[in-house]
Amino acid sequence: MGASAFRNAGVEIAPLSKDTLQERVYRHVREMILDGSIVPGEMVTVQSLADAFGVSPMPVREALRRLTAANALTVVSGRSVGIPALSLERLTDLRNVRYEIEAIAGGWAAANRDDDDLPTLARYLEAMQETNASGEVKGYLRANYGFHFTIYRAAKSENLLRIIEDLWLQISPYFNMLHESGNYSTANTHHEVMYNALRDRDAEAMRAAIQADVDGAYHVLLKLFR
């Protein structure tokens, strides 16, 4: 996949400056995994990313090495990587950990959020409703990522945020498979509850809505193994 293909898919990629280049490339590729820009079954090459970012292959190789070590990517061939296959055991483990950890972050967010978190969350919620109605899967996934991580950043815990990012690196590419089941519509009902809970600083409602959202995705993906 070349630079033009990423842009045609709606992925905004800006050329990177030279300062802290390796870390910035790493963060950009992480974001592409987290917001659904790289999907299961798609192969990505070092050169395609280097061309898209406007950098040499070296920082891209380092970023992919780190993400492979974190089980977010796997080597498909000598010069290509992709999303690792998801086993039933790993799916269930990810569900169990997310069920607890993301609910904790949501409860903390309800207590610690700032007023400017609410309009940001409202924009993402509107975007999810619009992209779900129009069938724009990638647009929905980007908005879904932005919505959830607005909440998790509002918890004001960098350590908790890093744990959740690592969990999403492993599971979020598979959110592409939820669309045809109607899960996006179901998830949006949970998202509305999350928005109201953050607005009202209702930690219990927030935790319950996040857990319902995690469970809803899990049970749809579980059918892949039956």
CATH number, domain containing residue 131? 1.20.120.530
CATH of the domain at 12: 1.10.10.10
% of the chain with per-residue pLDDT over 90: 66
- Which pLDDT score, from 0 to 100, does residue 39 have? 84
Residue 7 has pLDDT above 70, yes or no: no
Q: Is there a single domain that holds both residue 67 and residue 175?
A: no
Q: Is there a single domain that holds both residue 129 and residue 56?
A: no
Mean pLDDT of 26-33: 89
Q: By CB neighbour count within 10 A (0-12 exposed, 13-18 middle, 19+ buried), where does 134 fall?
A: exposed
Q: Is there a single domain that holds both residue 27 and residue 101?
A: no
Do 216 and 183 contact (CB within 8 A), yes or no? yes
Q: Is there a single domain that holds both residue 61 and residue 105?
A: no
Q: Which of 45-59, 68-82, 103-117, 199-213 has the lowest mean pLDDT?
A: 68-82
Mean pLDDT of 9-20: 59
Q: Is there a single domain that holds both residue 195 and residue 95?
A: yes
Residue where a domain terminates, one of 59, 82, 105 = 82
The whole domain housing 121 covers 88-225
**pTM, 2 dp:** 0.84
Taking the C-alpha atoms of residue 112 and residue 109, their distance in angstroms, rounded to an integer, is 5
Supply 155's token pair: 């918890």
Q: Let me know the angle formed at the C-alpha of 36 by 182 and 125, rounded to the nearest 5 degrees.
A: 60
Q: Select the highest-mean-pLDDT range: 24-28, 62-66, 129-133, 220-224.
A: 129-133
Mean pLDDT of 50-73: 90
Taking the C-alpha atoms of residue 79 and residue 139, their distance in angstroms, rounded to an integer, is 28
Residue 79 has pLDDT above 90, yes or no: no
pLDDT tens for each residue of 171-214: 999 998 898 888 999 999 999 999 999 999 999 999 999 999 99
H/E element holding 76?
A: strand 74-77
Q: Is there a single domain that holds both residue 52 and residue 155?
A: no
Taking the C-alpha atoms of residue 176 and residue 137, their distance in angstroms, rounded to an integer, is 7
DSSP state of 77: E
Q: Is there a single domain that holds both residue 161 and residue 187?
A: yes
Taking the C-alpha atoms of residue 78 and residue 26, their distance in angstroms, rounded to an integer, is 19
- Which pLDDT score, from 0 to 100, does residue 89 have? 94
Mean pLDDT of 71-93: 89
pLDDT tens for each residue of 138-173: 899 999 999 999 999 999 999 999 999 999 999 999
- Which pLDDT score, from 0 to 100, does residue 184 have? 93
